[in-house]
């Protein structure tokens, strides 16, 4: 089996960032600026940095403390060992909150990620809960998504982490989950690049899986509605209110908390690194570096030439060694993997999901954004793109 070659794709490019027409549903205005630049500007207007953001974050911290009074923890913070989650935990503690750090171990953690989590929790004096998946179960779920031939093969991890966070919040009576997403460094992911909900995860596993899932939760829409509207668990993205210069944050984490770099964006997971740099680009033509570097470009942290130069280079450097390691861990032969890579490309629209139901609930979701139980970017992700089969 030969390694597939990397090819830069995209013909029509945004005049402001480096997102392009490889994104289904993207639109360009008369200035040539794309949908994602418009979303960025909307979010900047809603979450401007400065005195107002400092005051707003102080108000949020006060509410979190009040809701968590007389409890061991007043918020939940998901940690992966990555830069964003580490910086989020640091800021939660800096705000005087009493977080429980929650980690989902899916069997793919890099050594750096494990070390980062342990060091940071110890230095910040934060308790850590790690939910460990049964490897046979999670492996079966991951392989199901590969056989489904969708670009969402990381969704099992993302959705289970999401499910574990809500489960732990309910268990400890905590009303706030603190997320580490920053639109200024990560942007808003196109729905056709990453779609996830419980019905979608369960539907693909029921079709392609062989092992019953018992060791980790897969939250359904009804679970989410219960946790959100009846239990009253809210989600807060503190990095929206804080200046985020990647280079400065990286230095701070390294100097103060002993954090160690692990390579590319979200490569704290060995599977994520392999999937994003090899499978996702070579099979689906999706390069998530475009999303990341476009966000940094809009935020003035990188130049356009630097961003283009980076995405035109091959992000995969693992050779056969990384490929063989991942296939062996997944118990896939080279022939099976070659067949997976050559399967017709599909999307979440080809499988059961709550997508059509969510579209009918636009007013409810908009209301959820207003009262703070639905993240702002979730609304924009679902209702700003035209998705056709």
Higher pLDDT, 268 or 282: 282
| Residue-level pLDDT at 1 | 77
| Contact criterion met (CB below 8 Å) for 282 and 9 | no
Higher pLDDT, 2 or 152: 152
DSSP string, 236-267: EEGGGGS---HHHHHHHHHHHH-----SSTTT
Question: Could you give all domains of the chain from N- to C-terminal order, each with its CATH number?
Answer: 48-383 (3.40.50.620)
Q: Which two tokens stand for residue 130?
A: 């790690």
Q: What number is the average pLDDT over the span 274-292? A: 95
Query: In sequence order, what are the residues at sequence separation of 6 or more whose Cβ sits closer than 8 angstroms to the Cβ of residue 279?
Result: 146, 153, 341
Q: Which of 64, 111, 118, 131 is nearest to 91 (CA)?
A: 64
Handedness of CA 304, 309, 311, 312 (dihedral sign): positive
Percent of the chain with pLDDT over 90: 80
> Length of the chain in residues, anyone?
389
Percent of the chain with pLDDT over 70: 97
- Whether residue 143 is predicted with pLDDT greater than 70 in this model: the reply is yes
Distance CA(75)–CA(174), nearest Å, equals: 6
* Residue 176, SS3 per DSSP: strand
- Whether residue 267 is predicted with pLDDT greater than 60 in this model: the reply is no
* Residue 366, SS3 per DSSP: helix
pLDDT band at 384 (very low <50, low <70, confident <90, very high): confident
pLDDT band at 263 (very low <50, low <70, confident <90, very high): low
- Whether residue 389 is predicted with pLDDT greater than 50 in this model: the reply is no
Distance CA(82)–CA(60), nearest Å, equals: 24
Higher pLDDT, 379 or 324: 324
Distance CA(327)–CA(274), nearest Å, equals: 10
Instruction: Round the average pLDDT of the chain to a whole number and report it.
Output: 93
Q: Which of 86, 95, 79, 77 is nearest to 257 (CA)?
A: 86
| Residue-level pLDDT at 11 | 83
82-91 tens-digit pLDDT: 899 999 999 9
pTM value is 0.93
Run of H or E including 100: strand 99-105
- Whether residue 386 is predicted with pLDDT greater than 70 in this model: the reply is no
184-236 tens-digit pLDDT: 999 999 999 999 999 999 999 999 999 999 999 999 999 999 999 899 999 99
Q: What number is the average pLDDT over the span 62-81? A: 96
- Whether residue 238 is predicted with pLDDT greater than 70 in this model: the reply is yes
Handedness of CA 275, 278, 282, 285 (dihedral sign): positive
pLDDT band at 10 (very low <50, low <70, confident <90, very high): confident
């Amino acid at each position: 089996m030969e390694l597939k070659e990397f090819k830069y794709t995209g013909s029509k490019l945004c005049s402001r960032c480096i997102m392009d027409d490889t994104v289904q549903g993207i639109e360009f205005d008369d200035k040539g600026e794309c949908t994602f630049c418009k979303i960025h500007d909307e979010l900047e207007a809603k979450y401007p940095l400065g005195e107002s953001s400092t005051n707003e974050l102080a108000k949020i911290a006060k509410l979190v403390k009040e809701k968590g009074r007389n409890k061991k923890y007043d918020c939940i913070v998901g940690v992966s060992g990555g830069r964003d989650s580490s910086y989020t935990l640091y800021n939660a503690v800096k705000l005087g909150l009493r977080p429980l750090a929650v980690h989902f171990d899916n069997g793919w953690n890099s050594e750096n990620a494990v070390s980062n989590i342990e060091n940071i929790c110890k230095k910040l004096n934060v308790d850590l809960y790690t939910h460990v998946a049964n490897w046979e179960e999670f492996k079966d779920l991951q392989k199901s998504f590969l056989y489904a031939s969708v670009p969402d093969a990381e969704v099992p991890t993302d959705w289970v982490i999401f499910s574990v966070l809500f489960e732990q919040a309910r268990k400890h009576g905590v009303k706030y989950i603190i997320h580490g997403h920053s639109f200024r460094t990560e942007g808003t992911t196109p729905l056709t690049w990453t779609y996830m909900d419980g019905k979608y995860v369960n539907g693909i596993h029921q079709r392609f899986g062989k092992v019953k899932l018992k060791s980790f939760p897969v939250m359904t829409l009804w679970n989410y509605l219960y946790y959100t509207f009846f239990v009253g668990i809210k989600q807060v993205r503190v990095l929206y209110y804080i200046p985020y210069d990647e280079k400065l944050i990286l230095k701070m984490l390294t100097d103060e908390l002993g954090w160690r770099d692990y390579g590319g964006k979200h490569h704290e997971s060995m599977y994520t690194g392999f999937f994003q740099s090899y499978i996702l680009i070579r099979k689906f033509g999706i390069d998530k570096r475009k999303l990341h570097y476009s966000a940094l470009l809009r935020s003035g942290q990188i130049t356009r030439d630097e961003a283009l130069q980076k995405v035109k280079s091959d992000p995969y450097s693992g050779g056969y060694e990384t490929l063989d390691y991942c296939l062996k861990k997944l118990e896939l032969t080279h022939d099976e993997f070659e067949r997976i890579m050559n399967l017709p490309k599909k999307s979440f629209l080809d499988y059961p999901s709550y997508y059509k139901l969510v579209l009918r609930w636009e007013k409810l979701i908009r209301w959820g954004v207003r009262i703070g139980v639905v993240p702002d970017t979730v609304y924009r992700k679902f209702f700003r793109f035209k998705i056709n089969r």
